Structure formats: C-alpha cells, structure tokens
Amino acid sequence: MKLLVVGGGGREHAIIKKLKENPEVEKIFALPGNGGIAADAECVPIGAKDIPAIVAFALEQQVDYAVVAPDDPLVLGAVDALNEKGIPCFGPTAAAAQIEGSKVFAKDLMKKYGIPTAAYESFDDAAAALCYLETAEMPIVVKADGLALGKGVIIAQTREEARQAVISMMEESMFGQSGSRVVIEEFLTGPEVSVLSFTDGETVVPMVSSMDHKRARDNDEGLNTGGMGTVAPNPYYTEAIAAQCMEEIFLPTIRAMKTEGRPFQGCLYFGLMLTPKGPKVIEYNCRFGDPETQVVLPLLESDLLTVMRATTEGTLAQTEVKFSDKSACCVILASDGYPQKYQSGFEMTIAPEALPHAFVAGAKLAEWRIPCPRPSRRPIHLRAWCILKTPTAAGTSAHGP
C-alpha cells in the first residue's frame, strides 16, 4: 500500500513511525515532512496547505490512503478535495473541522447540546465586547474565533489586559480574520487533560489520556507554548472521570455533530479541565495533538492503519483498539528563546539507538554523516532551519525516564 501523510512536524513523524509497523505499507510520502521524517518516509516539498498540489500528487502516485494531520488543511477542506477524487482519507471534512476552526461554532454546539464548558459570550463587534468587559469578573479568557497557530487564547488577569486582548484581536487584527470574532469566557481552574479519540461519526473510542506541559523552561518559568512535553496516561484522569466524560462529553459531542449534519470522522481531541464542578471542555481540536501524539501512539498496540481505515469506513465498533498499560513521556528540545525569537541553524545528530523514539520537527537533513550498510542503523544528522523540536526521552516506560 502507498500512503500519504500531510504535515511535517513531530506529530506527523509519530504517525508515520506507527503506520510503518503495518507490513502491508510499502511506501509513505510525507508532504512536506522534514529532515527527521526523511528517515522514515519520502518527503515531497508540497506545503500542507497547498490542497490542489496535494490532490494532484496523490492522483499521480495513486496513493491508497491519505492522512491529513494538521488543522489548517483540514479546515480548508483537504479531506473533501481528496475524497472527491476517490482517495480515502483519515480526517474530518471541512464542515466537521469547524469544531476547531471556529470557537464560536464549538461553544454554540456545546450550549445547544448541554455539553459542559465554560460560560461564554461571543462578539463580532469590538465596542460590544469592550462594554461587556466593564462588568465581567476577572480573570477572564479572550479567544480569537479562528485558527491562530495556538496563540489565540489570552488569559487576562485584569480588566485592562482583557481590553487590550480585544483591541489587538478585533481592531488591530493581530490574528488577521481569525480575530474578527471573539469568544469571551469564564476562567476555569483545575488539572487539564487531553483525550484524543478515534471516531467514525457514530462510535467514539478514546485513546490513552495525556497531559500537555505548556510552559517553556524548567519549573514552568517560561512562556506558554504549543507544548514542551507530555506524559501519558494523565495521572488525574481516573476511570470514574473517564466514564463521566464518555457520558457527558464524548458521546454527546459525536451525536451533536451527526445531528448537525457534520458527522466527525478522524481524530477528535477533547481538551478538558477537571474543575471543582466536574470535567468541562476547554477546547476541541479536529486532529491529533502535538506533542500528545508522541506519547499516545507509541502506547497503541493495535495497528494504526487498520484503526484509521475503520474511522473512514464506519466500522470502528467492530475494530479492536488496544493500548498498552505502560506509560510514556516526551520532552521537547527546542532552540533557546522559543516560543519567541530563537536562533536556528544548529546541527544535531540523533544516535541510532535513539531513532525509534525521536520525533523531529523543523529540521532539514544535512547529510548522512556516518556511512552504514543498514540504513535503519545510521545516525541521522540534521540542521535546524527554524526550530528543532526533538524529544530526548520519549517512548514507553521501558525506555523512558
């Protein structure tokens, strides 16, 4: 089988490594992939948002199955475009991806179907948003409606910070069109849990839970990032909480999307907060999380391709999805300064024994430094071109710290 994976980060590297475990997989193309992924797949320089080029490439290469991993191409309709040409695909349609593509859509869906989430108001007019803030309780959370590279959420401690957030998003277009509407919501407290799930639109199968550590630097002293590391399972997520989430959040969400005529097929990511009043949804993502995938997929014991195809074919209820009861941990190694300004161009070598557990983002392949007759035993030598995100210690408890 020939597969195509759209995307080029650590998450896609973890997906590709797992897909390769299926003996029927002869070839995987990564669009665009990166220098680390090049050790596991053929990287093709086509951007993840260039949907016409992705479709043309998939047709030319006669790929049997495609996986669209990042949010942007999903929201832009990559799955719809591939399906139209008869290429089966893992991931939601653009209509279903709105669950991440529009926070207003997601919040309204939760309100309509009684799914627990933070109380909120949405605004498409800056003056009305500013007026609302005059009497709102602080702290408060201001969210840009659309995709904003994971930066569209501002937790304002004071009224002035909240006002500034609204002004930057709505009047100064800090996130372009994505901030033309905002959601202003109640500030919640409690441990956060990420639950990625497989769903075919009817059945939902949660994967092992995980916890994302978002701040850079030791002791949580740095800025918020997309994620500096993850552990799985999440120590706060007990079996009783999991059962409650299934009844109150997971199943109602899948049913709501179906009722709305937007059945969700693919990976639906539930970002939860375990508040004193019970689990609540902080966000939905229409895709695998990064770096959650790097700890969740190594614990998957079932064949990933089989499970993915079951989500596409609507046969998830009859498909075994089994996770190991071990633990996994992922640590991100990033250039100093991340997530703000950082230096690039450093060299990095990954030793052969680390390769099975190293997931790479933002690096170009510099050279195969040490010639070796067995490609899988070669160290890979990389040059970071934007940011090097390489877990130093990832994998199951048998290998991790």
Q: Contact residues for ligand AMP (CB under 6 A)?
A: 118, 141, 150, 153, 155, 185-188, 192, 271, 282-283
Size of the site for ligand GLY (CB under 6 A): 8
Does 12 contact ligand GLY by CB under 6 A?
Answer: no
Does 80 contact ligand GLY by CB under 6 A?
Answer: no
User: d(Cα 286, Cα 60) in Å, to the nearest integer?
Assistant: 28
Give the nearer residue to ligand GLY in terms of CB position, either 50 or 290: 290
Choose the one of ligand GLY, ligand AMP, none that binds residue 64, judging by a C-beta under 5 to 8 angstroms depending on kind: none
* Among residues 40, 80, 212, 303, the one that binds ligand GLY under rule CB under 6 A: 212
User: d(Cα 154, Cα 161) in Å, to the nearest integer?
Assistant: 9
Choose the one of ligand AMP, ligand GLY, none that binds residue 42, judging by a C-beta under 5 to 8 angstroms depending on kind: none
Helix, strand, coil % over all residues of the chain, rounded to 5: 30, 25, 40
Token digits of residue 248? 């109150």
Per-residue buried b or exposed e for 327-349, using 16+ beta carbons within 10 Å of the residue's own CB: bbbbbbbbbeebbeeeeeeeebe
Give the nearer residue to ligand AMP in terms of CB position, either 25 or 282: 282
The distance of closest approach from Cβ of residue 75 to ligand AMP in the complex, given in angstroms and rounded to an integer, is 15
Beta strands of 129-209 (E only): which ranges? Answer: 140-144, 153-156, 182-186, 192-199, 204-206
CA 164 to chain CA mean position, Å = 28
C-alpha dihedral, 129 to 135 to 138 to 142, nearest 10°: -10
* Among residues 227, 229, 266, 279, the one that binds ligand GLY under rule CB under 6 A: 227
The distance of closest approach from Cβ of residue 37 to ligand GLY in the complex, given in angstroms and rounded to an integer, is 18
Token digits of residue 168? 């930057």
The distance of closest approach from Cβ of residue 287 to ligand GLY in the complex, given in angstroms and rounded to an integer, is 8
Does 352 contact ligand GLY by CB under 6 A?
Answer: no
Which element (helix H / strand E) includes 126? helix 126-133
Does 292 contact ligand GLY by CB under 6 A?
Answer: yes
Give the nearer residue to ligand GLY in terms of CB position, either 35 or 289: 289
The site for ligand GLY (CB under 6 A) is made up of: 150, 212, 226-227, 285, 289-290, 292
